[in-house]
Structure 1
Amino acid sequence: MSNLRTCDLTDPLGIETTRPRLSWRLTGALAQTGYHLQAGSAEGAADLWDSGEVESAEQRVTYGGAPPASRAVVHWRVRIRDAGGAWSAWSRGARFEMGLLDAGDWTASWITHPGWHAPGDPRAGEGLALPLLAGEFTVTGPVARARLHVAGMGVYVASVNGRPVTDAVLEPAYTDFTRRVAYATHDVTALLREGANAVGITLGPGIAHVYPHQDRYMKFYGSKGAPKAIAQLEVTHTDGSSRTFGTGPGWLATDGPTTRSHWFGGEDHDARLTVDGWDAPGADRSGWRPVTVPDAPAVALRARACPPIRVTETLPAVEKLVAKDGTAVFDVGTVVAGWAELRLDLPAGRFLRLLPGDQLDDFGRVIQSKPTTGAPIFNTYVTKEGPQTWHPSFRYDGFRYVEVQGLPGHVGPEAVTALVLRADNTPAGVFETSDPLVNDIHKIIDRAVRGNMYSVLTDCPHREKLGWLEQTHLLFDVVAYNYDVAAYYRELLVTMAEAQTPDGLVPDIAPEYVVFDGPFRDDPNWGGALVRLPWQLYRWYGDTSAMERHYDGMRRYVDYLTGRAEDGVLGHGLGDWLAPDPATPVPLVSTWGYWRATRTMARVAGVLGRGDDAARYGALTEHISAAFAGTFPRAFSGGSGGSGGSGEGTQASEILALDMGVVPGDLVPHVLDRVSEAVRGGGITVGEVVLPALFRVLSRAGRHDALWQFAVSTGNPSYGYQVRHGATALTEAWDGPTRGLSQNHYMLGAIDSWFYRGLGGIGQAPGSTGFRRLLIEPAAPGGLEAVRAGTTTPYGRVAVSWERRDGGFALDVEVPPGSSAEVRLPDLGLPPHAAPEGAVALGERAFDVPAGHWTFEAGR
Structure 2
Amino acid sequence: MVTNLRTCDLTDPLGIELPRPPLSWQLTDGSEQRGYHVQAGTREGAADLWDTGEVEGADQRVEYGGRPPGGGATVYWRVRVRDAHGWSEWSPSARFEAGADDWTARWITHPDWHDEGNPRAGEGRPLPLLAGEFTLAQPVVRARLRVAGLGVYVASVNGTPVTDAVLEPPYTDFTRRVAYATHDVTALLREGANAVGVALGPGIAHVFPHQDRYMKFFGSKAAPKAIAQLEVEYADGSSGRFHTGPGWLATQGPTVRSHWFGGEDHDARLRIPGWDAPGADRSAWRPVTVLDDTTETLRSRACPPIRVTERLPATAKLVATDGTPVFDVGAVVAGWAELSLDLPAGRYLRLVPGDQLDAYGRVIQSKPTTGAPIFNTYVTQDGPQTWHPDFRYDGFRYVEVQGLPEHLGPEAVTALVLRADNTPVGTFETSNALVNDIHTIIDRAVRGNMYSVLTDCPHREKLGWLEQTHLLFDVVANNYDVAAYYRELLVTIAEAQTEDGLVPDIAPEFLVFDAPFRDDPNWGGAIVRIPWQLYRRYGDRTAMRTHYDAMRRYVDYLTSRADDGILGYGLGDWIGLDQETPIPLVSTWGYWRAADTMARTAGALDRDEDAKRYRALSEGIVAAFGERFSGAGSQASEILTLDMGLVPERPGALERISEAVRGGGITVGEIALPALFRVLGRAGRHEALWEFATSTEHPSYGYQVRHGATALTEAWDGPTRGLSQNHYMLGAIDAWFYRGLGGIGQAPGSTGFRRLIVEPAAPGDLESVRASTATPYGRVAVSWRRQDGAFLLEVEVPPGSSAEVRLPDLGLDRLSAPEAAVRAGARAFEVPAGRWTFEASR
* Shorter-chain TM-score range: over 0.9
CA separation in 2, counterparts of 1:345 and 1:313?
A: 24
SS of equivalent to 2:600: helix
Report whether the alignment pairs 1:714 with 2:696: yes
Stretch moving more, 119-128 or 794-803: 119-128
Report whether the alignment pairs 1:94 with 2:76: no
SS of equivalent to 2:815: coil
CA separation in 1, counterparts of 2:665 and 2:119?
A: 49
Pairwise CA distance, 1:118: 2.5
Pairwise CA distance, 1:301: 0.3
Q: Do 1:122 and 1:211's aligned partners in 2 also have CA atoms closer than 8 Å?
A: no
Report whether the alignment pairs 1:653 with 2:676: no
SS of equivalent to 2:474: helix
Report whether the alignment pairs 1:592 with 2:576: no
Partner of 1:439: 436
Partner of 1:767: 749
- Give the residue type in structure 2 aligned to 1:244: R
Pairwise CA distance, 1:211: 1.1
**Structure 2 unaligned regions, length at least 5:** none
Partner of 2:59: 58
1:213-252 equivalences in 2 (<5 Å) = 213-252=210-249
Q: Do 1:35 and 1:79's aligned partners in 2 also have CA atoms closer than 8 Å?
A: yes
Pairwise CA distance, 1:402: 0.4
- Give the residue type in structure 2 aligned to 1:735: D
- Give the residue type in structure 2 aligned to 1:528: G
Pairing partner for 1:807 from 759, 769, 789: 789
Pairing partner for 1:198 from 195, 198, 218: 195
1:710-749 equivalences in 2 (<5 Å) = 710-749=692-731
Q: Do 2:30 and 2:798's aligned partners in 1 also have CA atoms closer than 8 Å?
A: no
Report whether the alignment pairs 1:362 with 2:362: no
Pairwise CA distance, 1:667: 6.0
- Give the residue type in structure 2 aligned to 1:320: K
Alpha-carbon displacement from aligned partner over 1:348-377 (angstroms, at most 9, x marks no partner): 000000000000000000000000000000
CA separation in 2, counterparts of 1:502 and 1:743?
A: 37
Partner of 1:276: 273
The alpha-carbon distance between structure 1 residues 120 and 855, as it changes in their structure 2 partners (threshold 3 A), is farther
Report whether the alignment pairs 1:167 with 2:164: yes
Pairing partner for 2:735 from 729, 744, 753: 753
Alpha-carbon displacement from aligned partner over 1:103-144 (angstroms, at most 9, x marks no partner): xx0001000000110244342221000000000000010101
Partner of 1:827: 809
Q: Do 1:354 and 1:402's aligned partners in 2 also have CA atoms closer than 8 Å?
A: yes
- Give the residue type in structure 2 aligned to 1:61: V
SS of equivalent to 2:419: strand
Partner of 1:498: 495
Partner of 2:19: 18
CA separation in 1, counterparts of 2:194 and 2:230?
A: 11
Q: Do 1:149 and 1:233's aligned partners in 2 also have CA atoms closer than 8 Å?
A: yes
Report whether the alignment pairs 1:288 with 2:285: yes
Q: Do 2:19 and 2:68's aligned partners in 1 also have CA atoms closer than 8 Å?
A: yes
- Give the residue type in structure 2 aligned to 1:88: S
Alpha-carbon displacement from aligned partner over 1:446-481 (angstroms, at most 9, x marks no partner): 000000000000000000000000000000000000
Pairwise CA distance, 1:297: 4.2
Report whether the alignment pairs 1:263 with 2:260: yes
Report whether the alignment pairs 1:68 with 2:82: no
Q: Do 2:30 and 2:833's aligned partners in 1 also have CA atoms closer than 8 Å?
A: no
1:526-537 equivalences in 2 (<5 Å) = 526-537=523-534
Pairwise CA distance, 1:832: 3.3
Q: Do 2:30 and 2:834's aligned partners in 1 also have CA atoms closer than 8 Å?
A: no
CA separation in 1, counterparts of 2:766 and 2:455?
A: 34
1:111-126 equivalences in 2 (<5 Å) = 111-126=108-123
Q: Do 1:123 and 1:212's aligned partners in 2 also have CA atoms closer than 8 Å?
A: no
Pairing partner for 1:856 from 814, 838, 841: 838
The root-mean-square deviation of aligned C-alpha atoms, in Å, is: 0.9
Alpha-carbon displacement from aligned partner over 1:556-605 (angstroms, at most 9, x marks no partner): 00000000000000011000000011111110000000000000000000
CA separation in 2, counterparts of 1:843 and 1:689?
A: 36
Alpha-carbon displacement from aligned partner over 1:644-688 (angstroms, at most 9, x marks no partner): xxxxx1000000000011215x966x1110000000000110000
Alpha-carbon displacement from aligned partner over 1:68-114 (angstroms, at most 9, x marks no partner): 111110001000001x141111111100001113xxx0001000000
Q: Do 2:231 and 2:241's aligned partners in 1 also have CA atoms closer than 8 Å?
A: yes
Partner of 2:561: 564
Partner of 2:667: 685
- Give the residue type in structure 1 aligned to 2:311: T
Partner of 1:638: none
CA separation in 2, counterparts of 1:124 and 1:704?
A: 60
Pairwise CA distance, 1:67: 1.4
Q: Do 2:426 and 2:480's aligned partners in 1 also have CA atoms closer than 8 Å?
A: yes
- Say how many residue pairs are matched: 841
With the length of structure 2 as denominator, give the TM-score of the two structures.
0.99
Pairing partner for 2:619 from 617, 622, 636: 622
Q: Do 2:631 and 2:650's aligned partners in 1 also have CA atoms closer than 8 Å?
A: no
Alpha-carbon displacement from aligned partner over 1:365-405 (angstroms, at most 9, x marks no partner): 00000000000000000000000000000000000000000
CA separation in 1, counterparts of 2:129 and 2:675?
A: 51
Pairwise CA distance, 1:296: 1.1
SS of equivalent to 1:158: strand
- Give the residue type in structure 1 aligned to 2:513: F
- Give the residue type in structure 1 aligned to 2:520: D
With the length of structure 1 as denominator, give the TM-score of the two structures.
0.97
Q: Do 1:108 and 1:232's aligned partners in 2 also have CA atoms closer than 8 Å?
A: yes
Pairwise CA distance, 1:299: 5.2
Pairwise CA distance, 1:294: 1.7
Partner of 1:645: none
CA separation in 2, counterparts of 1:735 and 1:593?
A: 27
1:604-623 equivalences in 2 (<5 Å) = 604-623=601-620
Pairing partner for 2:762 from 775, 780, 784: 780
CA separation in 1, counterparts of 2:414 and 2:467?
A: 33
Partner of 2:82: 81
SS of equivalent to 1:23: strand
CA separation in 2, counterparts of 1:273 and 1:419?
A: 24
- Give the residue type in structure 1 aligned to 2:24: S
Partner of 2:146: 149
Alpha-carbon displacement from aligned partner over 1:777-802 (angstroms, at most 9, x marks no partner): 00000000000000011000000000
Q: Do 1:178 and 1:299's aligned partners in 2 also have CA atoms closer than 8 Å?
A: no
CA separation in 1, counterparts of 2:816 and 2:352?
A: 63
Q: Do 2:366 and 2:372's aligned partners in 1 also have CA atoms closer than 8 Å?
A: yes
SS of equivalent to 1:706: helix
Partner of 1:643: none
CA separation in 1, counterparts of 2:506 and 2:65?
A: 36
Q: Do 1:5 and 1:23's aligned partners in 2 also have CA atoms closer than 8 Å?
A: yes
CA separation in 1, counterparts of 2:201 and 2:117?
A: 17
1:317-396 equivalences in 2 (<5 Å) = 317-396=314-393
CA separation in 2, counterparts of 1:28 and 1:688?
A: 41
SS of equivalent to 1:284: coil
CA separation in 1, counterparts of 2:164 and 2:706?
A: 37
Report whether the alignment pairs 1:705 with 2:687: yes
- Give the residue type in structure 1 aligned to 2:754: R
SS of equivalent to 1:5: strand
Q: Do 2:449 and 2:456's aligned partners in 1 also have CA atoms closer than 8 Å?
A: yes
The alpha-carbon distance between structure 1 residues 779 and 119, as it changes in their structure 2 partners (threshold 3 A), is farther
Percent of matched pairs sharing the same residue: 79
CA separation in 2, counterparts of 1:797 and 1:356?
A: 39
CA separation in 2, counterparts of 1:815 and 1:492?
A: 30
1:405-444 equivalences in 2 (<5 Å) = 405-444=402-441
Partner of 1:846: 828
- Give the residue type in structure 2 aligned to 1:66: R
SS of equivalent to 2:637: helix
Report whether the alignment pairs 1:573 with 2:570: yes
